[in-house]
Amino acid sequence: YSSAASVCIRDRFTTSVLLLLYTYITLQNITQQEHTARIRAEYDSLMDKSVEYEKMLGENMRDIQETKNDLIVLKSLVPKSSKEAHEQLNSMIKEYTEIEHKEQSNNDIYRKTLKIPSGGLRGLFSNKLSLMEELNINYNLRIGKGINAKTLKNLNYQEKRNFGKIVGIYLDNAISATNETSKKEINIEFFLEEGYFCVLISNTFTGTLDVDRMGTMGYTSKGENHGYGLSLAKEILKKNKNIHTEMSVYMNIVTQIVKIKM
Protein backbone atom coordinates (compact mmCIF):
# COMPACT_ATOMS: atom_id res chain seq x y z
CA TYR A 1 0.00 0.00 0.00
CA SER A 2 2.84 2.37 0.93
CA SER A 3 4.54 1.76 -2.43
CA ALA A 4 1.33 2.40 -4.37
CA ALA A 5 0.73 5.63 -2.42
CA SER A 6 4.26 6.81 -3.21
CA VAL A 7 3.74 6.17 -6.91
CA CYS A 8 0.45 8.05 -6.79
CA ILE A 9 2.04 11.04 -5.01
CA ARG A 10 4.95 11.03 -7.49
CA ASP A 11 2.55 10.94 -10.45
CA ARG A 12 0.54 13.80 -9.01
CA PHE A 13 3.72 15.81 -8.43
CA THR A 14 4.89 15.15 -12.00
CA THR A 15 1.48 16.15 -13.35
CA SER A 16 1.53 19.35 -11.29
CA VAL A 17 5.03 20.25 -12.51
CA LEU A 18 4.07 19.59 -16.14
CA LEU A 19 0.90 21.65 -15.70
CA LEU A 20 2.89 24.55 -14.21
CA LEU A 21 5.46 24.29 -17.00
CA TYR A 22 2.72 24.24 -19.66
CA THR A 23 1.04 27.26 -18.01
CA TYR A 24 4.35 29.15 -17.90
CA ILE A 25 5.12 28.44 -21.58
CA THR A 26 1.56 29.42 -22.58
CA LEU A 27 1.80 32.70 -20.67
CA GLN A 28 5.21 33.40 -22.22
CA ASN A 29 3.80 32.82 -25.70
CA ILE A 30 0.84 35.09 -24.98
CA THR A 31 3.20 37.80 -23.68
CA GLN A 32 5.42 37.50 -26.75
CA GLN A 33 2.41 37.66 -29.06
CA GLU A 34 1.17 40.76 -27.23
CA HIS A 35 4.60 42.40 -27.59
CA THR A 36 4.71 41.56 -31.30
CA ALA A 37 1.16 42.85 -31.83
CA ARG A 38 2.08 46.11 -30.07
CA ILE A 39 5.24 46.52 -32.14
CA ARG A 40 3.30 45.75 -35.34
CA ALA A 41 0.72 48.42 -34.44
CA GLU A 42 3.49 50.92 -33.67
CA TYR A 43 5.15 50.43 -37.07
CA ASP A 44 1.79 50.50 -38.86
CA SER A 45 1.18 53.86 -37.20
CA LEU A 46 4.73 54.99 -38.01
CA MET A 47 4.24 54.35 -41.73
CA ASP A 48 0.88 56.17 -41.71
CA LYS A 49 2.45 59.14 -39.95
CA SER A 50 5.44 59.07 -42.31
CA VAL A 51 3.18 59.51 -45.34
CA GLU A 52 1.46 62.45 -43.62
CA TYR A 53 4.84 63.86 -42.55
CA GLU A 54 5.99 63.93 -46.17
CA LYS A 55 3.02 66.09 -47.12
CA MET A 56 3.30 68.28 -44.04
CA LEU A 57 6.98 69.12 -44.52
CA GLY A 58 6.54 70.50 -48.01
CA GLU A 59 3.25 72.23 -47.30
CA ASN A 60 4.43 73.77 -44.02
CA MET A 61 7.54 75.38 -45.50
CA ARG A 62 5.64 76.51 -48.57
CA ASP A 63 2.88 78.10 -46.47
CA ILE A 64 5.37 79.97 -44.28
CA GLN A 65 7.31 81.32 -47.25
CA GLU A 66 4.18 82.26 -49.18
CA THR A 67 2.67 84.10 -46.21
CA LYS A 68 5.90 85.98 -45.57
CA ASN A 69 6.17 86.96 -49.25
CA ASP A 70 2.53 88.08 -49.30
CA LEU A 71 3.21 90.32 -46.31
CA ILE A 72 6.26 91.83 -48.00
CA VAL A 73 4.23 92.54 -51.16
CA LEU A 74 1.42 94.00 -49.07
CA LYS A 75 3.87 96.24 -47.26
CA SER A 76 5.13 97.63 -50.59
CA LEU A 77 1.55 98.56 -51.54
CA VAL A 78 0.80 100.41 -48.31
CA PRO A 79 1.62 104.15 -48.44
CA LYS A 80 4.67 105.07 -46.34
CA SER A 81 2.52 107.65 -44.60
CA SER A 82 0.57 104.82 -42.95
CA LYS A 83 3.18 104.31 -40.22
CA GLU A 84 0.94 102.22 -37.99
CA ALA A 85 0.20 99.78 -40.82
CA HIS A 86 3.91 99.52 -41.68
CA GLU A 87 4.79 98.83 -38.05
CA GLN A 88 2.17 96.07 -37.89
CA LEU A 89 3.38 94.52 -41.14
CA ASN A 90 7.02 94.73 -40.05
CA SER A 91 6.10 92.97 -36.83
CA MET A 92 4.31 90.19 -38.73
CA ILE A 93 7.17 89.79 -41.24
CA LYS A 94 9.63 89.55 -38.36
CA GLU A 95 7.47 86.89 -36.68
CA TYR A 96 7.30 84.77 -39.86
CA THR A 97 11.07 85.22 -40.38
CA GLU A 98 11.67 83.81 -36.89
CA ILE A 99 9.36 80.86 -37.62
CA GLU A 100 11.23 80.33 -40.89
CA HIS A 101 14.55 80.21 -39.04
CA LYS A 102 13.16 77.71 -36.53
CA GLU A 103 12.00 75.55 -39.40
CA GLN A 104 15.36 75.80 -41.13
CA SER A 105 16.65 72.55 -39.63
CA ASN A 106 13.57 70.70 -40.87
CA ASN A 107 13.93 72.46 -44.20
CA ASP A 108 17.58 71.33 -44.49
CA ILE A 109 16.53 67.74 -43.81
CA TYR A 110 13.63 68.15 -46.24
CA ARG A 111 16.04 69.15 -49.01
CA LYS A 112 18.42 66.30 -48.16
CA THR A 113 15.64 63.74 -48.43
CA LEU A 114 13.86 65.05 -51.54
CA LYS A 115 15.34 62.32 -53.75
CA ILE A 116 14.21 59.51 -51.44
CA PRO A 117 11.18 57.72 -52.94
CA SER A 118 7.86 59.03 -51.67
CA GLY A 119 5.06 56.94 -50.19
CA GLY A 120 6.25 56.90 -46.58
CA LEU A 121 9.97 56.20 -46.95
CA ARG A 122 10.95 59.86 -47.36
CA GLY A 123 8.81 60.88 -44.38
CA LEU A 124 10.32 58.07 -42.30
CA PHE A 125 13.87 59.24 -42.94
CA SER A 126 13.00 62.91 -42.46
CA ASN A 127 11.60 62.02 -39.04
CA LYS A 128 14.52 59.81 -38.01
CA LEU A 129 17.20 62.23 -39.24
CA SER A 130 15.59 64.94 -37.07
CA LEU A 131 15.78 62.53 -34.11
CA MET A 132 19.47 61.83 -34.83
CA GLU A 133 20.22 65.55 -34.78
CA GLU A 134 18.41 65.91 -31.45
CA LEU A 135 20.51 63.04 -30.03
CA ASN A 136 23.74 64.50 -31.50
CA ILE A 137 24.31 61.41 -33.62
CA ASN A 138 26.57 62.04 -36.60
CA TYR A 139 25.07 60.68 -39.79
CA ASN A 140 26.11 60.44 -43.40
CA LEU A 141 23.35 60.23 -46.02
CA ARG A 142 24.15 59.19 -49.58
CA ILE A 143 21.59 58.78 -52.34
CA GLY A 144 22.87 57.03 -55.47
CA LYS A 145 22.41 58.00 -59.09
CA GLY A 146 19.11 57.16 -60.70
CA ILE A 147 17.15 57.40 -57.45
CA ASN A 148 14.36 59.94 -57.16
CA ALA A 149 10.90 60.43 -55.65
CA LYS A 150 9.31 58.12 -58.26
CA THR A 151 11.80 55.24 -58.12
CA LEU A 152 9.32 52.92 -56.40
CA LYS A 153 6.27 54.03 -58.39
CA ASN A 154 5.74 50.50 -59.82
CA LEU A 155 5.43 48.94 -56.36
CA ASN A 156 2.00 48.67 -54.79
CA TYR A 157 1.04 50.34 -51.54
CA GLN A 158 1.45 47.23 -49.37
CA GLU A 159 4.91 46.40 -50.77
CA LYS A 160 6.17 49.90 -50.03
CA ARG A 161 4.58 49.77 -46.59
CA ASN A 162 6.21 46.44 -45.63
CA PHE A 163 9.57 47.58 -46.99
CA GLY A 164 9.27 50.79 -44.96
CA LYS A 165 8.44 48.85 -41.79
CA ILE A 166 11.59 46.73 -42.05
CA VAL A 167 13.77 49.75 -42.82
CA GLY A 168 12.14 51.58 -39.88
CA ILE A 169 12.91 48.70 -37.51
CA TYR A 170 16.57 48.57 -38.58
CA LEU A 171 16.83 52.36 -38.37
CA ASP A 172 15.36 52.45 -34.86
CA ASN A 173 17.76 49.71 -33.74
CA ALA A 174 20.69 51.60 -35.25
CA ILE A 175 19.73 54.82 -33.44
CA SER A 176 19.20 53.00 -30.14
CA ALA A 177 22.52 51.10 -30.37
CA THR A 178 24.55 54.09 -31.54
CA ASN A 179 23.12 56.35 -28.85
CA GLU A 180 24.74 54.11 -26.22
CA THR A 181 28.24 54.49 -27.68
CA SER A 182 30.82 57.24 -27.26
CA LYS A 183 31.35 57.44 -31.02
CA LYS A 184 27.83 58.02 -32.33
CA GLU A 185 27.85 57.40 -36.06
CA ILE A 186 25.29 56.11 -38.56
CA ASN A 187 25.85 55.69 -42.28
CA ILE A 188 22.86 55.51 -44.64
CA GLU A 189 23.04 54.74 -48.36
CA PHE A 190 20.41 54.35 -51.06
CA PHE A 191 21.46 52.55 -54.22
CA LEU A 192 20.24 50.39 -57.10
CA GLU A 193 21.63 46.91 -57.68
CA GLU A 194 20.57 44.40 -60.34
CA GLY A 195 16.89 45.32 -60.35
CA TYR A 196 16.70 45.94 -56.61
CA PHE A 197 16.26 49.17 -54.66
CA CYS A 198 18.55 48.96 -51.63
CA VAL A 199 18.91 50.78 -48.32
CA LEU A 200 22.12 50.28 -46.34
CA ILE A 201 22.26 51.21 -42.66
CA SER A 202 25.47 50.81 -40.68
CA ASN A 203 26.11 51.93 -37.13
CA THR A 204 28.48 51.66 -34.21
CA PHE A 205 27.53 49.55 -31.18
CA THR A 206 28.91 48.33 -27.87
CA GLY A 207 28.84 44.84 -26.41
CA THR A 208 28.36 41.66 -28.42
CA LEU A 209 25.83 40.50 -31.01
CA ASP A 210 24.69 36.92 -31.52
CA VAL A 211 24.10 37.11 -35.28
CA ASP A 212 22.51 33.64 -35.39
CA ARG A 213 19.87 34.62 -32.83
CA MET A 214 18.99 38.03 -34.26
CA GLY A 215 15.37 38.01 -35.36
CA THR A 216 14.45 35.34 -32.82
CA MET A 217 11.41 36.29 -30.74
CA GLY A 218 12.52 38.53 -27.89
CA TYR A 219 16.27 38.29 -28.59
CA THR A 220 18.20 41.49 -27.97
CA SER A 221 21.53 42.69 -26.65
CA LYS A 222 19.71 45.35 -24.58
CA GLY A 223 17.83 43.32 -21.99
CA GLU A 224 14.14 42.67 -21.41
CA ASN A 225 11.24 44.01 -23.47
CA HIS A 226 13.38 44.60 -26.55
CA GLY A 227 14.09 42.57 -29.70
CA TYR A 228 10.50 42.21 -30.88
CA GLY A 229 11.08 44.61 -33.78
CA LEU A 230 13.58 42.27 -35.43
CA SER A 231 11.19 39.37 -34.89
CA LEU A 232 8.48 41.36 -36.69
CA ALA A 233 10.91 42.12 -39.53
CA LYS A 234 11.64 38.40 -39.87
CA GLU A 235 7.90 37.68 -39.98
CA ILE A 236 7.37 40.29 -42.73
CA LEU A 237 10.29 38.87 -44.74
CA LYS A 238 8.77 35.38 -44.69
CA LYS A 239 5.59 36.72 -46.29
CA ASN A 240 7.27 38.98 -48.86
CA LYS A 241 9.53 37.12 -51.29
CA ASN A 242 10.53 40.34 -53.09
CA ILE A 243 12.19 41.77 -49.98
CA HIS A 244 15.59 40.53 -48.81
CA THR A 245 18.09 41.53 -46.15
CA GLU A 246 21.82 41.12 -45.62
CA MET A 247 23.78 41.65 -42.45
CA SER A 248 27.45 41.83 -41.52
CA VAL A 249 29.44 42.75 -38.42
CA TYR A 250 32.98 44.09 -38.45
CA MET A 251 34.57 45.04 -35.13
CA ASN A 252 32.11 47.51 -33.54
CA ILE A 253 30.13 48.27 -36.71
CA VAL A 254 27.01 46.40 -37.81
CA THR A 255 25.71 46.82 -41.38
CA GLN A 256 22.24 45.87 -42.60
CA ILE A 257 20.99 46.09 -46.18
CA VAL A 258 17.31 45.90 -47.08
CA LYS A 259 16.47 45.19 -50.73
CA ILE A 260 13.21 45.21 -52.63
CA LYS A 261 12.71 44.00 -56.20
CA MET A 262 11.57 46.84 -58.42
pLDDT tens digits, one per residue of 58-103: 566 667 677 777 777 777 777 777 778 778 878 877 777 776 666 6
CB 218 within 8 A of CB 231: yes
One-letter amino acid at 170 equals Y
Nearest-10 Cα torsion for 200, 205, 208, 210: -20
At residue 231, the pLDDT reads: 79
At residue 102, the pLDDT reads: 61
Q: For 25-70, how does the pLDDT look when each residue is reduced to its tens digit (9 = 90+)?
A: 665 555 555 565 666 667 666 666 666 666 666 566 667 677 777 7
CB 73 within 8 A of CB 97: no
pTM of the model: 0.65
Has residue 4 got a pLDDT over 60? no
User: What is the spatial distance between Cα 136 and Cα 186, in angstroms, rounded to a whole number?
Assistant: 11
